[in-house]
Each structure stands twice: as C-alpha cells, then as structure tokens.
Amino acid sequence: MPKYTGVLEQYDIANFLYLSLSPIPSTAFLEQLSSCSGIAIGGGDTELY
C-alpha cells in the first residue's frame, strides 16, 4: 500500500489501517471503519465497492 500510505506520510499522517473489504465483516472491522476519519479505496475491482 505504499502508493497510498506514502502520500499520507508526506503530510505527517501516520495513524492509518489497511482493512480488506469483506462481504461478512466482523464487529471489530465495523468498529474500526465507523471510527475512521477517511477512506481510501484502491486496487482490484474498485468499481464493485
């Protein structure tokens, strides 16, 4: 994910997670997702997200 995280790090943004999307997300996944301040979607078939 350096393509995305590298740009964030240039602006001193270092608190981020990589979450792989799932059709059946766990409770922990949903908690992390609901508390985030932004989402970057990249790679694969992004038009399906």
Confirm whether 44 is domain-assigned: no
Number of domains in the chain: 1
Q: Return the closest-CA partner of residue 6 out of 40, 33, 34, 35.
A: 40
Q: Considering the domain boundaries, does residue 48 fall inside one?
A: no
Residue 20 lies in a domain: yes
Stated pTM of the model: 0.57
Q: pLDDT: is 35 or 47 the higher one?
A: 35
Q: What is the mean pLDDT of residues 21-41?
A: 87
Query: Is 10 domain-assigned?
Result: yes
Band of residue 31 on the pLDDT scale cut at 50, 70, 90:
very high
Task: In whole angstroms, give the CA distance from residue 45 to residue 14.
Answer: 26
Domain of 17? Answer: 2-35
Spatial separation of the C-alpha atoms in residues 13 and 49, rounded to whole Å: 24
In a domain, residue 17? The reply is: yes
* pLDDT tens figures, 2-14: 777 888 889 998 8
